[in-house]
A = this chain, B = another copy of it.
Amino acid sequence: MNNFNYYSPTEFVFGKGRAAEAGYFVKKYGGSKVLIHYGGGSAVRSGLIDTVKKSLDDAGVQFCELGGVKPNPRDTLVYRGIDMCRAEKVDFILAVGGGSVIDSSKAIAIGVPYDGNFWDMYCGKPIEKALPVATVLTIAAAGSEGSGDSVITKEDGMLKRAAGSDLLRPRFSIMDPSLTETLPSYQTACGATDIMAHVFERYFTNTTEVEITDRLCEAVLLTMVKETPRVIADPNNYDARANIMWAGTVAHKNLCGVGREQDWNSHEIEHELSGLYDVAHGAGLAVIMPAWMEYVYRHNVLRFCQMATRVFGCQMNFEDPEATALEGIHRFRKFLRSIGMPINFAELGAREEDIPTLVSKFEIGDGKTGGFMQLDAHDVTEIYKLAANASL
Contact = CB atoms under 8 A, between A and B. Distances in A.
B212 A223 contact: yes
Nearest to A176: B3
A2 interface: yes
Nearest to A224: B212
Given A219-B219, A250-B216, A259-B242, A11 B15 contact: no
Interface in A1-42: 1-18
A86 interface: no
Contact of A220 (B17, B18, B208, B212): B212
Contact of A5 (B1, B14, B247): B14
What copy number does this chain have within its complex?
2
Contact of A243 (B2, B10, B211, B240): B211
Given A219-B212, A243-B209, A255-B250, A3 B11 contact: no
A8 B9 CA distance: 6
Nearest to A14: B4
B11 A7 contact: yes
A220 B259 CA distance: 15
A351 interface: no
Contacts of A243: 1, 209-212
Contact of A215 (B15, B210, B219): B219
Contact of A11 (B5, B14, B216, B250): B5
A18 B1 contact: no
A316 to B, nearest CB: 14
Interface string A205-234: 000111111011011101100110000000
Interface string A340-351: 000000000000
Nearest to A247: B212
A239 interface: yes
Measured as residues with beta carbon below 8 angstroms from the partner, the interface class of chain A is: 35 or more
Nearest to A218: B219
A46 to B, nearest CB: 20
A15 B222 CA distance: 29
A239 B209 contact: yes
A246 interface: yes
A197 interface: no
A246 B259 contact: yes
Given A14-B259, A219-B218, A219-B219, A212 B246 contact: yes
A180 to B, nearest CB: 14
A258 interface: yes
A44 B5 CA distance: 26
A7 B18 contact: no
Given A9-B9, A211-B227, A212-B250, A1 B242 contact: yes
B12 A5 contact: yes
A289 to B, nearest CB: 21
Interface in A284-305: none
Interface string A294-322: 00000000000000000000000000000
Contact of A219 (B1, B17, B216): B216
A220 B215 contact: yes
Q: Which of A1, A2, A208, A213 has the most CB of B within 10 A?
A: A1
Interface in A37-64: none
A271 B14 CA distance: 32
Contacts of A209: 239-240, 242-243
Nearest to A217: B219
A255 B17 CA distance: 21
Contacts of A220: 212, 215
10 contacts: A4-B14, A7-B11, A8-B8, A9-B9, A9-B11, A209-B240, A211-B226, A215-B223, A216-B219, A218-B219
